[in-house]
Structure 1
Amino acid sequence: MASVPLLSSSPVFSSPSLPRRNSRVVSCSSIPARRNASLQRRDLVLLGMASSLFLSGPSSDLLAVVISEQDAKMNMFADDTNAYSYLYPIELPNKSPFKWVVSRKPERYSSAAPLSPNARQRIVSERVDITHNSVISVSIGPPNSRFLTSNDKSTWKAGDVADSVLSDKSALVTGQRMVESSILDAHSDNLEGEPYWYYEYIVRKSPTINVQEPNLFRHNLAVTAERDGYLYSLNASTLSKQWDQIGPFIEQAVASFRLIPPTENYVPPFKDPWRFW
């Protein structure tokens, strides 16, 4: 896979609050004790209350539960149509708020927007913050047999899962995509008996009106889990030059992603593939 040079000599995950490359990405409820901004007991109780509210209460796209940390504020988002949840940042340590706009409301796989002409992988929800150039999206798609040759997900390697997802996100052919993007790290973790595959990558993009540098990259963190024969992936990104500021909160969002127990509102991806509403 072609390598894309980093914009600086600082190591990936340079913030002391984040795990270094080749270390495990951990869930927000088990962040290492060495972090100065570790969750307090009160925050863990709130997180448990949030999960209980979603599982026992009426279905809702957005839970109005705020998880406060010493250095951040996070909201919990839960999509009962596709049965997943994650935390996303709503305020930086300096009290600067994120101004998220929901660019794609949660919807079933059959009606979701495809990421490439083959329509295998589709975005089922997305939120964008223009102020901080950040995007958090969730996509669903079947495994790509070119990279994941076995049906036994316990044998899948994180790098192969990353290639499977990224290859179906791009309209480019595989060789061109590998030149455009570069995977920096890929590893897996077992959470509640299910494998989750984490990967970090950068994507070369054209200069924007706000950022004119020729070497412009989007720094991405992603996590993928499998259910019902489909890959569920959360991807969070920001501009590379903003990584030191926004990266820690992107990491928390990715680490918090979970497939949750389906409710009666859950629509599996294979159900009514012809339906577009």
Structure 2
Amino acid sequence: MDMALHLARPCASPSLRSESLTCRSSQGRQPAKLQFRSLRPRCDSSNASEAESADSLKASAVSRRQALVKGLVAGLAVPSFFGLQSASAEPSEAVDEKTRELQTDEINAYTYTYPVSIGQGKTLSWVESRKPERYSSAAPLAPDARQRIVSERIDLKNNLVISVSVGPPNSAFLKTNDINTWAPKAVAQSVLADKSTARMTMGQRVAEVSIVDAHKEEVDGVPYFYYEYLVQKSPTMMQGGVDVFRHSVAVTTEREGYLYSLNASTLDSRWDMMGPAFNETAKSFRITPPTEEYVPPYKDPWRFW
């Protein structure tokens, strides 16, 4: 992130000079001002300093020794001062990575972990809005909504969403069935095109998804495609004409001809706090060996036995 630094000119008269360092983000965020105070003598106090120097020569050796010790302590305290200033500039809320819960879905055979608390002992208010359910390939309500959500949890207070979807690949982006030939960005486009998250204008989709990053990793010989993206949402009455951006991280893999995707998102303004935790959630996503509860996505959706 490009940062513009402006150092205000210090005042020349006070004995306690104050310097302000303003950091202004190119993304339009509110500038943060760090105040640095340093002890400096007045410019018009040279005579008083000479008098004090003359008096100090008459002090005892013990006094000089004490003054030397105080000077050393003050010199060592300067790095600590700047260290405290840097720490205070960090967000007051940070996700506690030690408190995570495991989500297991035996119906669709996958697992992942998710954060349950943030800094200062605050607990995230997760609600399982959609319990794990089998995938249904019945005709979707919209032609671009073939990726079906099979489980979801939300935190309305902090505007957080974690969901898992299952659906077939989109042949417009993935030309072959060989997963080893798939490009990470093409996988992301295939999933996002079938999620129906864009606006609808006169029956036509308006592209509003921006893929920030996409890459592939192999875990135990299974390719996993990780991608980060922004979705532009319509403005609300509270926000006026300013569009809202949701920041998301996702991971997709393939099994039996279907894509399994985990998606974690929040408001872009909260990404600095939740982004690292959501990245860990994406990294933890794994498809697991099927159990007796497993229902393959290709099974007839109209048969429940």
TM-score > 0.5, shorter chain as reference? yes
Q: How many residues align?
A: 212
Highest CA radius of gyration, 1 or 2?
A: 2
In 2: Cα distance, 1:171 partner to 1:219 partner: 13
Kindly indicate whether the alpha-carbon contact (under 8 Å) linking 2:107 and 2:133 is maintained by their aligned counterparts in 1: yes
Instruction: Measure the CA separation in 2 of the matches of 1:115 and 1:221.
Output: 25
What residue identity is the alignment partner of 1:152?
D
Please state how far the C-alpha of 1:96 moved relative to its aligned partner: 1.1
Aligned twin of 1:105: 131
**Number of the residue aligned with 1:152:** 178
User: How far is the alpha carbon of 1:101 from its aligned partner?
Assistant: 1.0
Q: Taking structure 2 as the reference length, what is the TM-score of the superposition?
A: 0.63
Code of the aligned partner of 2:106: D
Compare relative contact order (CA 8 Å, sep 6+) and give the higher one, 1 or 2.
Answer: 1
What is the alpha-carbon distance in structure 1 between the residues aligned to residue 119 and residue 170 of structure 2? 40
State the alpha-carbon separation in 2 of the partners of residues 115 and 169 from structure 1. 12
Identical columns (%): 57
Q: 1:131 maps to which residue?
A: 157
Deviation at 1:230, TM superposition (A): 0.1
Report the Cα offset of residue 203 of structure 1.
0.3
User: Structure 1: where are the runs of 5+ without partners?
Assistant: 1-7, 11-68
| Deviation by residue 1:69-95 (Cα, 9 ceiling, x = unmatched) | 964410000000000000011011222
| Corresponding residue number in structure 1 for 2:245 | 217
Once the two structures are TM-superposed, the CA of residue 178 in structure 1 deviates from its matched residue by: 6.7
Take 1:219 and 1:268, find their aligned partners in 2: how far apart are those partners?
Answer: 31
8 Å CA contact 1:136–1:234 kept in 2: the answer is yes
The root-mean-square deviation of aligned C-alpha atoms, in Å, is 2.8
Residues 112 and 257 (structure 1), Cα distance of their counterparts in 2 relative to 1, 3 Å cut: farther
TM-score between both structures, scaled by the size of structure 1: 0.69
Look up the equivalent residue of 1:181 and give its one-letter code: V
Partner of 2:106 in structure 1?
Answer: 80
Look up the match of 1:122.
Answer: 148
- Aligned partner of 1:246 in structure 2 is 274
The change in CA–CA distance for 1:250 and 1:177 in structure 2 (over 3 A counts) is farther
1:165 paired to 2:191: yes
The change in CA–CA distance for 1:172 and 1:89 in structure 2 (over 3 A counts) is closer
Which whole-Å CA distance do the structure 2 matches of 1:137 and 1:115 have between them?
19
Deviations 1:3-49 (A, max 9, x none): xxxxx647xxxxxxxxxxxxxxxxxxxxxxxxxxxxxxxxxxxxxxx
Aligned-partner Cα distance in 1 for 2:181–2:249: 22
- Summarize the Cα distance change of 1:78–1:157 in structure 2 as closer, same or farther, 3 Å threshold: same
Structure 2 distance, partners of 1:195, 1:259, is: 11
